[in-house]
Chain A
Amino acid sequence: MRALAAIALLLVSAAQPRPDFRNIAAKAGLRRPFPNGGANAKQFIIETTGSGVALLDYDNDGLLDIFVVSGKGGSNRLYHNDGHDHFTDVTEGLGLTSEGWGQGVCAGDYDNDGYTDLFVTYWGQNRLYRNAGGKHFEDVTAAAHLTEDRVRYNTGCAFLDYDNDGRLDLFVANYLQFDPKTTPEPGANPYCWYRGIAVNCGPRGLPFDRNILYHANAGGTFTDVSEHSKIAEPSGHYALGVLTGDFNGDGRPDIYVACDQTPSLLYINQGDGTFAEEAVLRGVAYDADGRSMSGMGVTAADYDGDGWLDIFRSNFSDERETLYRNRGKGEFDDATVAAGLAHNTRYVGWGCGFFDFDNDGWKDLLLVNGHAFPEVDRLGGAVRYKNPMILYHNAGKGRFDDVSGAAGPALLELHSSRGAAFGDIDNDGAIEILVNNQNESPSLLKQSASGSNHWIMLQLTGAKSNRSALGARVRLTASGRSQVDEVRSGGGYLSQNDLRLHFGLGASREADQIEIEWPSGARQKLAHVKADRVVSIRENP
């Protein structure tokens, strides 16, 4: 490790920022480990895919709280942010005690009552928790008509208002059909081996399933519109991470799904209640060679400052991560190699997120890793179960530099990580990262010092649009440069980021202009907004 760190240090030039990320989880009160199947060997695929995390402000006190999803043998946990980087477990008191194979989590105010609700996916029955005034969470799954008629392997999820009616609809990815009674044992067939070691079977060889879209009705219920909307049309995909965004700039939210060992999906919103799956022709199904990758997590940002949302997807070991550059109107080119991202092929990547850690106005990229199979440690090679994280600094001009080795000790810790969520837990303009580690306590990464660059955080509240402002697009201009971002639910790997939008402003002490396109179609402009604070913006009624 010492040698590796030294080599990585050599690659970081003096001009690059030197962040110092520390893992403050234990000090912050996050000491409880979260079970997720075997720690030394895994019998079934269900033990490999979980789980996500969320950063949300459930009680509207202005501080982000923490939600961690658990695998079988534990409960999902909600931790209240007490301030001063300390959290208290409030799971039992708020009615969130659970059991089962928790997978993903997404947040949104589905009933527009001003409090952010939670949706948790499972191998088994998903759960919708209605936030009752920040004092209690009520399981309203059945009342909301979200009961499933069979056991499904639900993974990524996202609230979105796909028909812009002001009510949040819900997308749920499905990985595959899994039944431990019929799934072969490790080593039973060619799909149950990895580099000569018997490992859990799948996903290849296990039956596919279909993704689900629920339309929100008035009165707090949902209707499964997967068939009518054509979401269920594509077959032959092992769906995991979900990302929403208006990729083609038509004002309507589209849905991207990272798929494992099969082509990833891009559902383009047709504006009439249906979607057309167009990932191949739009260039986001495969890698540059036209090969399916093992897509896990997915995130979006305008990394090159051209005004279009680009997509990043984490993949399996022996595969490159994939960065798709949006060349306009939702047509993408694989820019992985050109952007300098093609190096880290020894890790299985999961949680990922664009965030501006040095507030220079360019979105950087962090991904967390961990092999699917603990058994790989027996091989003794470069591929290991527990891995460090990777941090890419956005150098501008479409290039990233790998600064992982010189970004503080937290990135070099070895974990088998899955979900990661990004948000500012202390409202100081430096983004923290919460990570779910298999069979360990979570990690909470915080920079030891904030830099001199300025920032602004926008908390949007819809009026005519959905109250969480999901789908709202912001264009911020400072010192002659524009940045765009959107408010989104879900994302990364089965996780939920801070719903507020964070922008680094570099040396600018104010944002010259902030333009908001609300999902309702309304536009709003603010000028000369002072930096280094959280700004609340309500949609004009």
Chain B
Amino acid sequence: MRAISVLLLCALPALADDALRRGIEAFRAGRHAEARSYFQQSEDREAPVFLALVQAATGGCAQAVPRLAAAFADAAGPELRRLAGEALLSCVESNLKADYPSDADVLYQSARAHLRAWNEAVYQMFQKTPASYRVNQISGEILEIQGKYHEAAAEYRKAIEKNPRALDLHFRLGRVILIDAQGPVALENARREFEGELALNSGDAAAEYEVGQILIAQGKRDAGVSRLERAWALRPDFVEALVAVGRARLENKEYPDAISLLNRAVKLQPRNETAHYSLMMAYRNSGDLEAAKREKAVLDELQKPPEGEFTEFLKKLGEKPPKQ
């Protein structure tokens, strides 16, 4: 979702149609229904493609696929054609997995296709655009996966140097700094990067959320909570921000408000363990022990490890698991 939002934002400066612009802004803020409405109102000839992109990003692949296919075939400009193609690929794969959810062959082919596409694209990128900031970005992402956070940060810094206006780089750099260490210096450096992301895109709820969390860790609680509230306002379905605001209310002993927010969070994401745990604590602190116990039961269920997960995995690897 964050990636699509960032991609759509890239297209923003070139747009003339007001409804189209408002639609993209609404999508970025998580107001999907509003975004759809704007795209439907827009008279821009590319508006139906944007509508399809939003549908694809919000689970509406069935409606989106015909328009995306047409846009990819010939109707759109090169940038939009690329976005349509990526969304189309994603939709076809989603449809396959939705129609055959437990089919090992479908899942295997899907995994292979992704892996092949990844390898080919990365190879091409390194071959054809070795000096681009995207090569540094992808290098940073790979190093991040490998746990080499220091090196990843260096690659993101190079990417920023090459393209200071590129979105998502400051966010990734801030995140990798935080993963590597959370000492006072690291916290401040990470905060600067998230603020840097916000300077490029003031509507980035995730960056706003990270700034809020850092400010709280730095002992600036009130400032931190207000940034978390802003993150939530930017994206009302941003569950992490909702939980953080709920917890701030809980710390202030504003129990009804905290419980209401946290209940909303668990409705948005029924399998979110942090949301359930926070709700359990809110009920407990409010004195409603029975409700707290009910939440604990939900949490216990969610935290149960899948039966036989590890031994099955070992068998596949040819290892003999130790006896219980």
A binding-site residues for B, Cβ under 8 Å: 7, 11, 177, 179, 182-184, 188-191, 194-196, 204-208, 236, 263, 280-281, 283, 286, 288-291, 318, 320, 327, 331, 333, 337-338, 340, 342-346, 379-382, 399, 402
Q: How far is the CB of B262 from chain A (nearest CB, A)?
A: 12
> Does B219 touch A at the CB level, under 8 Å?
yes
Whether the pair B277, A345 counts as a contact (CB closer than 8 A) is: no
Whether the pair A289, B277 counts as a contact (CB closer than 8 A) is: yes
Q: In the complex where A333-B281, A333-B285, A382-B150 touch, is A290 in contact with B180 (Cβ < 8 A)?
A: no
CA distance A64 to B150 in the complex (A): 45
> Does B8 touch A at the CB level, under 8 Å?
no
Looking at chain B's contact residues, the main secondary structure is helix
CA distance A286 to B273 in the complex (A): 11
Q: In the complex where A331-B284, A337-B217, A380-B150 touch, is A281 in contact with B292 (Cβ < 8 A)?
A: yes
A280 — which chain B residues lie within 8 A by C-beta?
280, 296, 299-300
> Does B263 touch A at the CB level, under 8 Å?
no
CA distance A389 to B66 in the complex (A): 62
Whether the pair B182, A343 counts as a contact (CB closer than 8 A) is: yes
Whether the pair B323, A182 counts as a contact (CB closer than 8 A) is: yes
Q: In the complex where A182-B322, A379-B148 touch, is A281 in contact with B280 (Cβ < 8 A)?
A: yes
A399 — which chain B residues lie within 8 A by C-beta?
219
Whether the pair A290, B150 counts as a contact (CB closer than 8 A) is: no
User: What are 9 contact pairs spanning A and B, CB under 8 A?
Assistant: A189-B319, A204-B310, A205-B310, A281-B296, A290-B276, A320-B182, A331-B284, A338-B221, A380-B150
Q: How far is the CB of A410 from chain B (nearest CB, A)?
A: 20
> Does B183 touch A at the CB level, under 8 Å?
yes
B313 — which chain A residues lie within 8 A by C-beta?
189-190
B binding-site residues for A, Cβ under 8 Å: 146-150, 179-185, 187, 216-217, 219, 221, 247, 251, 273-274, 276-278, 280-281, 284-285, 289, 292-293, 296, 299-300, 303, 305, 310, 313-314, 317, 319-324
Contact of A318 among B179, B285, B293 (CB under 8 A): B179
B278 — which chain A residues lie within 8 A by C-beta?
289-290
Whether the pair A207, B181 counts as a contact (CB closer than 8 A) is: no
Chain B residue with the shortest CB-CB distance to A342 = B217
Whether the pair B147, A290 counts as a contact (CB closer than 8 A) is: no
Q: In the complex where A183-B322, A290-B299 touch, is A283 in contact with B183 (Cβ < 8 A)?
A: no
B314 — which chain A residues lie within 8 A by C-beta?
189, 205
B216 — which chain A residues lie within 8 A by C-beta?
337
A346 — which chain B residues lie within 8 A by C-beta?
180-183
B251 — which chain A residues lie within 8 A by C-beta?
333, 338
Q: A263-B303, A289-B278, A382-B181 are in contact. List 16 more A-B contacts (CB 8 A).
A: A179-B322, A189-B317, A190-B313, A195-B147, A196-B147, A205-B314, A207-B323, A280-B296, A280-B299, A281-B293, A290-B273, A290-B280, A343-B182, A344-B183, A346-B183, A379-B147
A205 — which chain B residues lie within 8 A by C-beta?
310, 314, 321
Whether the pair A381, B148 counts as a contact (CB closer than 8 A) is: yes
CA distance A412 to B273 in the complex (A): 38
Chain A residue with the shortest CB-CB distance to B310 = A205
Chain A residue with the shortest CB-CB distance to B300 = A280
Q: In the complex where A182-B320, A195-B147 touch, is A290 in contact with B181 (Cβ < 8 A)?
A: no
CA distance A320 to B281 in the complex (A): 20
CA distance A195 to B151 in the complex (A): 13
A281 — which chain B residues lie within 8 A by C-beta?
280, 284, 289, 292-293, 296
A402 — which chain B residues lie within 8 A by C-beta?
184
B289 — which chain A residues lie within 8 A by C-beta?
281
CA distance A342 to B322 in the complex (A): 37
Chain B residue with the shortest CB-CB distance to A334 = B281
Q: In the complex where A207-B324, A283-B281 touch, is A340 in contact with B219 (Cβ < 8 A)?
A: yes
Whether the pair A289, B185 counts as a contact (CB closer than 8 A) is: no
CA distance A327 to B253 in the complex (A): 12
